[in-house]
Amino acid sequence: MTHRNYSWSEITKILRSGETKGKLTRDDLPTPALMLDLDDFEYNIDKMTRYLRSSNVAIRPHGKTHKCAEIAKVLIRAGAAGSCVAKLSEAEAFADNGVGGLLITTAVIGKHKIERAILLARNHPDTIFCVDDAQNVRDLDEAAGVSGVRLNLAIDLLVGERTGVGCGEPALVLARLIASLAHVTFAGIQAYAGQAAHVAEWEKRRRVSHEAMGKAVETRYLLEKHGINVAIVTGGSTGTYNIDAEINGVTELQPGSFIFMDLAYNSIAGNGSEAFHDFRNSLSVLTTVVSKRGSDTAVVDGGFKAFATDQPMVPVAKNMQGVRYNWGGDEHGILEAIKPSVTLDVGDRVEFMVPHCDPTVNLYDRIFCLRGDDVETVWPITARGMSQ
């Protein structure tokens, strides 16, 4: 196999020319490289959007997974209501790159961040901010009043183990406060039950998610009984998409990982299947064998800096049987040949599925998008590192 080993500036030149076909292939990429199989990515989007459309539930996928404005725009073109983002800085990066319909799923706390939130809302008035604290609501209202801007606020409901105001009465009190203030608008309810997403058995996952989202829907009806219109009830994850979509009163879902998939999601069960393969593994990391020890050990150039390491599982080689990856430090992975179907030589490429997609993507500046072996385009990871 011959590799052209282009430099980044040569790759940029080819991409700028717009003629990548046959000129830039997976074999030319500098490794470790983050790659997206466009056919599988499009399959995933099509499958999820079709399913939710048929369930009459909207989708605002979570951009924390990809942090890539171009991907957010692909999803919006496929029918998404916009993009969820985890943090204000992620929202700013997306907004600056033409992504609308933003829902910031974490509260914006502190004077300086509130000033930035006002600026964002001035230019992107459809942005929704999540809140779970009365003083934060008053601070947002005051800042909005001073600047002559209106802010859309959604109540973050505690249906999981993280943030949120209590379901029922505490949520009603907060919603009433929002409704009573002059410069904020009550947008709805966010209810993210992260504890349900990776429950291994599907039936158990269904029970956990129904319990959590059921409380969100009850809260919705309580607010409506008191004259507060709840336009949005949003939540859910890739693991519960076909559970939450069947719950009456949930209006939109915010799954993220389904576009890429990862080994953590593959390890749970599907509905009627032992492993979760509703969506395809479109995301991978390409590495190169940089050293060899004897006939059964090959060292690749991807370690802790190429893959997120928060999950118990190791990267798994794609399209290759009989090799096991072991962590080899920051820059390396040690490939053990157990029953090799291929002999690995220095310079050979090995492609891996990743243990956890979100934090892996955050390790890269760009994602190479392939159609077959050809690089069709390269997208910047717009909000890489933006966790503020």
Of 307, 236, 232, nearest in space to 62 by CA: 236
Is residue 238 close enough to count as binding ligand PLP by CB under 6 A? Answer: yes
Burial 135-147 (b: 16+ CB within 10 A, else e): ebbebbbebbeee
Task: Please tell me the distance from the alpha carbon of residue 138 to that of residue 118, in angstroms, as a whole number.
Answer: 14
Is residue 281 close enough to count as binding ligand PLP by CB under 6 A? Answer: no
Tokens, residue 369: 């998008």
> Would you say 223 and 266 are in contact if contact means Cβ atoms under 8 Å apart?
no
13 Cβ partners below 8 Å, 6+ apart? none
79 Cβ partners below 8 Å, 6+ apart? 49, 53, 59
Q: How many residues does the chain have?
A: 388
Is residue 237 close enough to count as binding ligand PLP by CB under 6 A? Answer: yes
Helix, strand counts (H, E) of the chain? 12, 17
Task: Please tell me the distance from the alpha carbon of residue 382 to that of residue 100, in angstroms, as a whole number.
Answer: 15
Closest separation in Å from C-beta 88 to ligand PLP: 14
146 Cβ partners below 8 Å, 6+ apart? none
Stretch that binds ligand PLP, among 25-33, 234-242, 280-288, 348-356 (CB under 6 A): 234-242
Helix axes 202-225, 169-180, angle to 10 degrees: 50
Closest separation in Å from C-beta 255 to ligand PLP: 4
Residue in 255, 315, 333, 355 binding ligand PLP, rule: CB under 6 A: 255
Stretch that binds ligand PLP, among 231-239, 282-290, 309-317, 332-340 (CB under 6 A): 231-239
Q: Which phi and psi angles does 214 have, rounded to 5°?
A: -60, -40
94 Cβ partners below 8 Å, 6+ apart? 63, 69, 72, 83, 85, 102, 382, 383
Q: What mask, x for binding ligand PLP by CB under 6 A, covers residues 181 to 200? A: -----------x-x--x---
Is residue 302 close enough to count as binding ligand PLP by CB under 6 A? Answer: no
Is residue 257 close enough to count as binding ligand PLP by CB under 6 A? Answer: yes
Closest separation in Å from C-beta 85 to ligand PLP: 10
157 Cβ partners below 8 Å, 6+ apart? 132, 164, 165, 167, 171, 189, 190, 191, 215, 216, 219
Is residue 62 close enough to count as binding ligand PLP by CB under 6 A? Answer: yes
Is residue 136 close enough to count as binding ligand PLP by CB under 6 A? Answer: no
Closest separation in Å from C-beta 358 to ligand PLP: 7
Q: How many residues bind ligand PLP (CB under 6 A)?
A: 13
Is residue 44 close enough to count as binding ligand PLP by CB under 6 A? Answer: no
Stretch that binds ligand PLP, among 29-37, 251-259, 325-333, 339-347 (CB under 6 A): 251-259
Is residue 202 close enough to count as binding ligand PLP by CB under 6 A? Answer: no
Stretch that binds ligand PLP, among 23-31, 108-116, 254-262, 313-321 (CB under 6 A): 254-262
Is residue 360 close enough to count as binding ligand PLP by CB under 6 A? Answer: no
Q: What mask, x for binding ligand PLP by CB under 6 A, covers residues 4 to 43? A: ----------------------------------------
Chain positions contacting ligand PLP, by CB under 6 A: 62, 65, 105, 192, 194, 197, 237-239, 254-257
